[in-house]
C-alpha cells in the first residue's frame, strides 16, 4: 500500500444524524453525526439495525386505531385496550386483549362517537376513557365499561398526587377540573376547577408533571401549578412558566422522564421538540429546543397533523410517532436522552405508542395509524411483521482537502459477525445521486481479517468481520457513502470504517 495514502478513520463517538448542517460539516474531533440514520440505533458506538414487531390479537375490521393503552390494575388481570371505528364508521368500539387470542369488544363499549381520538387514564384501579364528546366510561375488569356521569367530558385527564385533573371540556377549554383527593369520580361543582388564562384565546392542550408541579400546556404557553393539601386540593401558586411559544398542540406528545418533561411545540415556523428540565437545585427551567440538529426532518412534519404526535419513554430513549406525509403518522423520531442524538424509523405507522407488561416484562406496543385495524408488539423480531426493515446509513460527506480532488482508493468495513448478511455500499461524489459501489459480507468466516484483506492467512477473534472494497469511488472533490440492508430477517451491526485516499496534485497554471 502506498505510503502516500491518507486515512479517515470513523471511530469517533457517533451521536446520531443531523440534517440541519451540510454533510461536509458533520465531522468534529470528538463527535460525528451521520447525514441520515434510518431504522437503526446508535449503541456502544455501533450502528445497529433495529428490531421489528409482530401482530397481537386480530384485526376485526380494517380501521385506524384511535387510541390504545394498557389496563394493569394492581392484583388484577392485565389487558391492552384500544378503540377503532366499526365496519360502517357509524360508531367506534372499545376492545380489549388479554395477552393471547383475539381482541374482544367490551360490553357496552360499542356506542362511542366515530373518528375521535380516545385517551385511557388509570386512576384508583380503573381505566377511564375520554374523547371530549361522549360521557366518560370506565373499566375495572378489561371486559366491560360503564358510564361515569360525574367525571367532566374532557378530551383527556391526568391522575396525579391523588387528584384527577380533567381538561378539554367543550365550552370551557381553558378550565382545569380537579376531583376531591383520592376520589376520581367526585368533582365539586363550585370549587372543583380553575380557569387558566382565559383571555388568551387558547385551549388547554395537555398536562405533564415534574417534581411537585403540574405543567399545564396551551398551544403556545405553559403554566406551573403547585400546592396540595392533605384532604383537598389547595391552590397556592399558578405561574406563567413561559409565554414565548413553548406550548404544545399535541397531548400525546408530552413525555415525562423523571426530572424532565418533553413535548412538541410549534409557533408559526418550524415545529420542534422542547423540554422543561429540573436543575440540580430543584428549580424548573426551560430546557429549550432539543431537535435543532434534525431541523430538516422537523420541516417535513405536516403542520396540520401535529396534534397526532404520540410519544413514549423506553427508559433511555423517547419515541415520537409523527406525520411527515399524507394524513396519518408514518415515521418515528427517536431521541437518546443520554447522548442527545437522534435516529429515525420508517415502517412503523403508529397512531399511538405505549408500554405494557402484559408479555411478562415491560415492552412497547402500538396501534396502527393505517386503516388495517391492527395492533403490534415491538419485540425481538428481525422484520416488521414479515416485511423487511430498510436499514440505511448516510455518512458525512468527506472533503479532507477542500478545493482539491482526492483519489478515493479503499474502504475498509468492520462489523459484528452475523449469518450470511450483506451490506450494500453506495457512493456519491455530489451528495445527491448514489451509485452502487460494492457489497460487504458479514459472514465471519473465522477470522477478524479475512482473505479479502490479507490473502489466505487467518488470525484474530471470530466475533468481528472485516472486509475491503478495492475501489472507493475514484477521483472527486467530495465523497459520501451509503450503507444499506433491506433484507428481511437479517441482523446488522456496523462497528467502524476506514477510508484510504490520496490527494491529487494541483495542475500547473
Burial group, residue 160, by CB count within 10 angstroms (0-12, 13-18, 19+) = middle
Mean pLDDT of 416-431: 86
Q: Which three cell numbers stand for residue 199?
A: 383571555
Residue with more model confidence, 229 or 382 = 382
Mean pLDDT of 410-424: 85
Quote the pLDDT of residue 234. Answer: 47
| Residue written as grid cell 394524513 | 327
Is the residue at 435 inside a domain?
A: yes
Sequence-ordered alpha helix ranges (H) in 324-477: 451-454
Is the residue at 472 inside a domain?
A: yes
In the predicted model, is pLDDT for residue 3 greater than 60? no
Quote the pLDDT of residue 246. Answer: 83
Burial 195-231 (b: 16+ CB within 10 A, else e): ebbeeeebbbbbbbbbbebbbbbbbbbbbbbeebeee
Q: How far apart are CA 105 and CA 121, in angstroms?
A: 19
Helix (H) or strand (E) holding 295: helix 295-298
Residue with more model confidence, 371 or 239 = 371
Q: How confident is the model at residue 237 (pLDDT cuts 50, 70, 90)?
A: low
User: What is the three-state SS of 199-260?
Assistant: HHCCCEEEEEEECCEEEEEECCCEEEEECCCCCCCCCCEEEEEECCCCCCCCHHHCEECCCE
Is the residue at 458 inside a domain?
A: yes
Q: How far apart are CA 348 and CA 451, in angstroms?
A: 39
CATH code (residue 33) = 2.60.120
Is the residue at 189 inside a domain?
A: no
Q: How confident is the model at residue 461 (pLDDT cuts 50, 70, 90)?
A: very low
Encode pLDDT of 284-310 as tens digits.
Answer: 888 899 999 999 999 999 999 999 999
Q: CB-based contacts of 34: which residues, under 8 Å, 6+ apart?
A: 14, 16, 17, 18, 26, 47, 393, 394, 395, 396
Q: CB-based contacts of 401: which residues, under 8 Å, 6+ apart?
A: 503
| Residue written as grid cell 392485565 | 78
In the predicted model, is pLDDT for residue 459 greater than 60? no
Q: What are phi and psi of 16, to 5 degrees?
A: 160, -150
State the DSSP string of 105-174.
Answer: EPBT-S-EETT---EEEEETTEEEEE-SSSPPEEESSSSB-EE-TTS---SEEEEETTEEEEE-BTTBTT
Quote the pLDDT of residue 508. Answer: 55
Neighbour tally for 87: CB within 10 Å: 12
Q: Which three cell numbers stand for residue 363?
A: 415492552
Please count the structural domains in the chain. Answer: 1
In the predicted model, is pLDDT for residue 419 greater than 70? no
Helix (H) or strand (E) holding 344: strand 342-346
Q: What are phi and psi of 80, to 5 degrees?
A: -105, 125
Encode pLDDT of 320-347 as tens digits.
Answer: 999 999 999 999 999 999 999 999 999 9
Q: How confident is the model at residue 349 (pLDDT cuts 50, 70, 90)?
A: very high
Q: What domain range includes position 447?
A: 6-38+45-50+391-503
Is the residue at 410 inside a domain?
A: yes
Is the residue at 407 inside a domain?
A: yes
Quote the pLDDT of residue 294. Answer: 98
What does the chain come to in residues? Answer: 509
Is the residue at 363 inside a domain?
A: no
Q: How far apart are CA 441 and CA 423, in angstroms?
A: 6
Q: How far is CA 368 from the centre of its chain?
A: 14
Amino acid at each position: 500500500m502506498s505510503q502516500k495514502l491518507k486515512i479517515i478513520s470513523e471511530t469517533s463517538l457517533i451521536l446520531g444524524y443531523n440534517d440541519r448542517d451540510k454533510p461536509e460539516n458533520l465531522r468534529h474531533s470528538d463527535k460525528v453525526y451521520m447525514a441520515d440514520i434510518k431504522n437503526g440505533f446508535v449503541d456502544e458506538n455501533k450502528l445497529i439495525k433495529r428490531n421489528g414487531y409482530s401482530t397481537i390479537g386480530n384485526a376485526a375490521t380494517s380501521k385506524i386505531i384511535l387510541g390504545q393503552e394498557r389496563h394493569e390494575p394492581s392484583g388484577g388481570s392485565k389487558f391492552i385496550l384500544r378503540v377503532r371505528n366499526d365496519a360502517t364508521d357509524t360508531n367506534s368500539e372499545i376492545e380489549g386483549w388479554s395477552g393471547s387470542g383475539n381482541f374482544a369488544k367490551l360490553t357496552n363499549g360499542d356506542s362511542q362517537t366515530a373518528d375521535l381520538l380516545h385517551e385511557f387514564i388509570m386512576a384508583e384501579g380503573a381505566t377511564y376513557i375520554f374523547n371530549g364528546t361522549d360521557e366518560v366510561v370506565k373499566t375495572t375488569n378489561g371486559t366491560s365499561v360503564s358510564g361515569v356521569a360525574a367525571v367532566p367530558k374532557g378530551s383527556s385527564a391526568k391522575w396525579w398526587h391523588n387528584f384527577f385533573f380533567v381538561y378539554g371540556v367543550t365550552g370551557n377549554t381553558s378550565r382545569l377540573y380537579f376531583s376531591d383527593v383520592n376520589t376520581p369520580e367526585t368533582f365539586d361543582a363550585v370549587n372543583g376547577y380553575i380557569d387558566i388564562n382565559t383571555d388568551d384565546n387558547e385551549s388547554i392542550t395537555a398536562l405533564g408533571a415534574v417534581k411537585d408541579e403540574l405543567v399545564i400546556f396551551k398551544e403556545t404557553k405553559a403554566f406551573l401549578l403547585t400546592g396540595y393539601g392533605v384532604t383537598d386540593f389547595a391552590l397556592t401558586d399558578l405561574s406563567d412558566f413561559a409565554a414565548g411559544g413553548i406550548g404544545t398542540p399535541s397531548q400525546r406528545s408530552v413525555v415525562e422522564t423523571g426530572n424532565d418533561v418533553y413535548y412538541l411545540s410549534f409557533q408559526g415556523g418550524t415545529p420542534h421538540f422542547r423540554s422543561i428540565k429540573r436543575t440540580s437545585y430543584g428549580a424548573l427551567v426551560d430546557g429549550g429546543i432539543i431537535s435543532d440538529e434534525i431541523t430538516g426532518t422537523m420541516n417535513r412534519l405536516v403542520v396540520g397533523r401535529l396534534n397526532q404526535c404520540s410519544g413514549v419513554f423506553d427508559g433511555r430513549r423517547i419515541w415520537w410517532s409523527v406525520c411527515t406525509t399524507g394524513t396519518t403518522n408514518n415515521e418515528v423520531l427517536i431521541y437518546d436522552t443520554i447522548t442527545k442524538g437522534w435516529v429515525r424509523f420508517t415502517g412503523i405507522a403508529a397512531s399511538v405508542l405505549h408500554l405494557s407488561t402484559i408479555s411478562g416484562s415491560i415492552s412497547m406496543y402500538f396501534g396502527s395509524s393505517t386503516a388495517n385495524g391492527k395492533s403490534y408488539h415491538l419485540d425481538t423480531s428481525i422484520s416488521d411483521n414479515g416485511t423487511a426493515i430498510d436499514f440505511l446509513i448516510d455518512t458525512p460527506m468527506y472533503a479532507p482537502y477542500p478545493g482539491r480532488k482526492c483519489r478515493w482508493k479503499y474502504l475498509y468495513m468492520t462489523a459484528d459477525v452475523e449469518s450470511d448478511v450483506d451490506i450494500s455500499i453506495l457512493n456519491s461524489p455530489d451528495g445527491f445521486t448514489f451509485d452502487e459501489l460494492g457489497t460487504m459480507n458479514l459472514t465471519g468466516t473465522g477470522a477478524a481479517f479475512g482473505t479479502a484483506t490479507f490473502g489466505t492467512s487467518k488470525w484474530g477473534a471470530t466475533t468481528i468481520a472485516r472486509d475491503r472494497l478495492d475501489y472507493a469511488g475514484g477521483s472527486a472533490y467530495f465523497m459520501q457513502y451509503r450503507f444499506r440492508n433491506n433484507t428481511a430477517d437479517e441482523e446488522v451491526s456496523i462497528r467502524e470504517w476506514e477510508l484510504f485516499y490520496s490527494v491529487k496534485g494541483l495542475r500547473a497554471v
